[in-house]
Each structure stands twice: as structure tokens, then as C-alpha cells.
Amino acid sequence: MHELSLCRAIAGVVQPHAAGRRVDVVHVRVGALRQVVPESLEFCWSMVRDHMDMPTARLDLELVPAEVHCGVCGRRSEITSRWSVCCPHCHSGDVEVMCGNEFLVTSVDIT
């Protein structure tokens, strides 16, 4: 379960910015190609936040769909498969991933 190590990394990013203040919400952008299970990430966060002295902090996940630009047909399309990154229109593998690889703490609500 790599979600636990991801939560530790999130906490490592948040703690220096919190500087002892209460963390209310951690906003995280997660791309579909990162193979993160949102429910597992939230479960692991509940364990990590207690250990890292942020007991009230919750995660606000922004789930970003995967999109590719096809070098053959020129279309930009959302892809739904995590296992195949091909153009859904012409089935070419000549694609550039435009979004869906994100994993980023975008902001933190601190009081």
C-alpha cells in the first residue's frame, strides 16, 4: 500500500508550513495515472495525521482525469483505462499525456 508513504510525504510537506498551528484541510491534486486509491489515501491519512500531531486535518482530494493528445489524429481526449494510454479515437500509441500524472499539495488551510 504505497498510499501510506504518500501520506507521510504529504505530512512532510505540510508540517513546516504549519509551524505548530492547527491544520484544518490539506488540498491535494491527484492524477488518474498515479494509481492512487482515494479511499486508501484517506484511510492512511487518518493514521498519519494522528502520528504527526495534526489530528483534525482532513484531505480534500481533487481527482484529475487523464488526457492525451494524439500525434496521429490530433485529438485531445480523456482516457479511462489506467493500463492503456492510447488514443480512444484512432487507437494510436503515439500520444502525449497532457494531464493525469499530478500528485501535488496545492494548498493548506491553517488556523
Question: What pLDDT, in 10s, does the model give residues 5-30?
Answer: 999 999 999 999 999 899 999 999 99
Q: How confident is the model at residue 91 (pLDDT cuts 50, 70, 90)?
A: very high
Q: Which residues are annotated as a binding site?
A: 2, 70, 73, 87, 90
What is the SS3 assignment for 96?
strand
Question: What do you get for the CA distance between the two ends of the chain, in Å?
Answer: 31
The pLDDT value recorded for residue 92 is: 95
Q: What is the CATH number of the domain that holds 100?
A: 3.30.2320.80
Q: How many domains does the structure of the chain reveal?
A: 1
Q: Is pLDDT at 3 greater than 90 in this prediction?
A: yes
Specify the higher pLDDT residue, 102 or 53.
Answer: 102
Residue pLDDT, tens place only, 23-72 = 999 999 999 999 899 999 999 999 999 998 899 999 999 999 999 999 99
Which of these, 45, 48, 69, lies nearest to 59 by C-alpha position?
45
| Per-residue model confidence (pLDDT) at position 79 | 92
Q: What is the rounded average pLDDT of the residues 91-109?
A: 96
Annotated binding site for Ni(2+): 2
**Separation between Cα atoms, residue 18 and residue 35, nearest integer Å:** 28
User: Residue positions in the annotated binding site for Zn(2+)?
Assistant: 70, 73, 87, 90
- Domain enclosing residue 69, as ranges: 1-110
